Structure 1
Amino acid sequence: MFLDLQHISARYPKASAPAVNDVSLQLAAGQLGVLIGPSGSGKTTLLRAIAGLEQPQSGRILLDGTLLDGPNVRIAAEQRRIGMVFQDFALFPHLNIAANIGFGLRDMPRQQVRQRVDEMLALVGLDGAHEKYPHQLSGGQQQRVAVARALAPQPRLLLLDEPFSSLDVELRERLAHDVREILKQAHITALMVTHDQLEAFAIGDVVGVMQAGHLEQWAAPYQLYHRPTSRFVADFIGHGVFVPGALVQTDAGMMVATALGNLHDVNGVLAHAGASPDSAPRGFDVLLRSDDIVHDDDSHFKARVVRKTFRGADFLYTLKLLDGQELLALVPSHHDHAIDEWIGIRLDVSHVVTFPTV
C-alpha cells in the first residue's frame, strides 16, 4: 500500500486520553481517502502526524515503502514531500496568483517555475489568472489556487484539512466534485479531513469514521452506509433509527420480525451477529434508514407526521407509530403532508443491519 498507518497512537501533553488511539489504515496509490467524525475525534491530529507536525507515541507510518515514523525513526516534516491544504487557504495576500503557486518552487530554474505554474493553473481551471491577487478571486477560486500551490512541488501525498469549511454549502458541494476530478487527473494520493458526510462521499474512494481517537470503520462509502460495522457508525452516517427486532419462524421460513412487518434477510442478520440460526440472540435492534421507509397510501401500517424538513426534492419526515416508535422517511416533496397527519408506510429493505440491544 502507498500510505500505511500501523497502530498509530498520539497523545497531547496533560491530556487524559490519547487524541489518536491505535489507528491503522491503508491507501493505495491514486486513492482518495476521507476521515470524518465529531469534533475532537482525532481526525486532524492523525493528519498532522502523517505530515510530521505531531509525533506519534507509538506505531509506524510508511509512505511508498519508506518509514516516516517508527521505533527510533522520525523523518522531518519538510523532508516528507507531503503537501497540505488548509481550511483558511493560507494564500499570501501581497503575492499574485503565479507567485503564490510558485512559492515552493524557488529552487527551480525560472523557466521551469513558469511552466509548472502554467500547468497547475490549467489543471485547476484558472488559466490566465497569473497576475491576479487573492482578493480578486472568489472563495472557490482561492481554494483552487491553494490546491494548485500544494500540488506544484509534486508531493508524494496530499493532505487536506477541512478545505471547504469556510465556503457556502452549494459551493462546497460543487468544489468537492471539482477537487476530486483535479486529484484524479493528477494521479494524486490524498487524505482529507471533513465533518461533512456529503463532502466525504463526494470525494472519497474510501472513508473512515473516527470516534474518541478510534477508527471505527474504514471502507467504501457504500459499505459505510449499508454495512456499518458498529452502532456508532450506523448512527453517525445518514439518517436512521433503531427499532426492536427478533428472529421468528414462519411458514415461509426464518424471518426478522419488526413493528412494520417481517424482513427476509436473515442471513444478513446472522452474518452481522456472527451467529447461526440456533445460536443467534432472539432480540436485537434493526437499523432502518430514511430510504428504507416508503410512503404508501395503500399500506395498512400507519404513522403520524410529527416533524418535517423541506429539502427541495424531498421532505425528511419524522414519523411516530401507535406504539410511540419514531421513524425517519424521505418522501418526494410533492407529497406535502401536514403535521399530525397519518400516512401509510411500508418497509423496502434490501438487506438487514442489526446490533445488540442497548
Structure 2
Amino acid sequence: MANQAAISLQAICYSRGSLSLLDQRKLPQETVYLEIHTAADGWSAIREMVVRGAPAIAISAALSLAVEVSNSDFKGTAVDAASFLVERLGYLESSRPTAVNLSEATVKLQNIVKKVAETTSNPEVVFQAYLEAAEIMLTDDVAANKSIGCHGAAIIASGLQTKQLSVLTHCNTGSLATAGYGTALGVIRALHSGGQLERAYCTETRPFNQGSRLTAYELVHDKIPATLIADSSAAALMKAGRVNAIVVGADRIAANGDTANKIGTYSLAVAASHHGIPFYVAAPLTSIDGSMASGEEIVIEERSPNELLFSHGGLGERVAASGIDVWNPAFDVTPSNLITAIITEKGVITRNVEGFFAITEFMERTA
C-alpha cells in the first residue's frame, strides 16, 4: 500500500508490470492507492469496491492480469499460456456479475489469446498479444468518454430552450469510475466547459454513498458549481423546477434499451417522467448487451447486508436494530420507455417510430 499525492483524479495508475488502484472506499478523507500484483488482487479490489464503475471494473480486471503476466516466469506452451489467460479472465469476470463491460472485455480478450495461440508455439507471443490488448482498453476508454461528453452536451442543450442548464446525476460516472473524464459526469464536464451549465446536482447514492464521497469530490476538484442532495429529495427538487435534465450511467443496457444502473436510478426515471424532465443514459457501446432482449434477463447483484446495517456503507458503527432483515440490491432496471435517449461515443440512440430504441440498427450503422 502506498500513499500518493492527489495530483489528478486518476483511479487507475498503470505502467507495464505495475498497477495501483485508488481506494475509493477512503475518499474523500484519504487518498490511498493499493498496489495490485495479481488477478486475485484485482478480483478482491473489484469485489470490495476499491474500484467501481463499469468501465473501470473491466479495465482494472484486464490490467491486474496483465501485471501478473508481466511479472511471471511462465513455463509451458502457447496453448498452455492461452488456457491460463482464459481461466484467469473467467475468474475475474465472477467478481461482479451485473456490469456487462467486464464480461464483454473478458470474452474479447479470451478470443484474442485463443486466436494467437493457434498461430504460434511461443507462449511469449500469446502473452504479448494479451498485454497489448489490455493496455489499449485503457487509452480507448478516455477517448470514448470525451466523445460521449461531446455528444451528450449537444443533445441535451439542443432539446432545451435555456442557455444555462441544471443537470442532475446519480452515483459516480466520472474519472473515478472510468479510465478518465467519465460518461454521465463527462457530459456534465462538457456542458460546463462549453459555458452551458448553471449547476450540477448529485445524489448521495445510498447505501455506499458514491455520490457524496466521489461525485461531489470530482465536482469540487473541477470547480464545477454543484449541489449535493439526499436521494429522497430528488423528486422535490424536480417539482421545484430546479432540474432541466437528468443524465446517468449504465452497467448493462439490454437490446430494447432497458438499463441496469445503480439502485435508485429507476426512482429518478419515474419522477422525471412525472415532471416532464428528459432522462438520458450515457454509456459506451460496450455497455450494450445485445444478447439480452430486455432488462428482465439482467442479473442483479445483491450486496452485503452490512452496507445498510452499519454506517459509511458497512464500514462504520451499527445503525440498524439487531435482527432486522435486509434487502440490498446494488442495481435496478429502468425500462426503456422512461429513457429519452442513450448517449454513446458513436452518437445518440433515439427512438424509432414504434417508440422503441433502434439499438441494433444503430450499432450496425456505426460499426
Structure in which a larger fraction of residues adopt strand = 1
Structure in which a larger fraction of residues adopt helix = 2
- Could you say which TM-score interval applies, normalised by the shorter chain? under 0.3
Using the size of structure 2 for normalisation, the TM-score is 0.21
Using the size of structure 1 for normalisation, the TM-score is 0.22
- When Rg is computed on C-alpha atoms for both structures, the one with the higher figure is 1
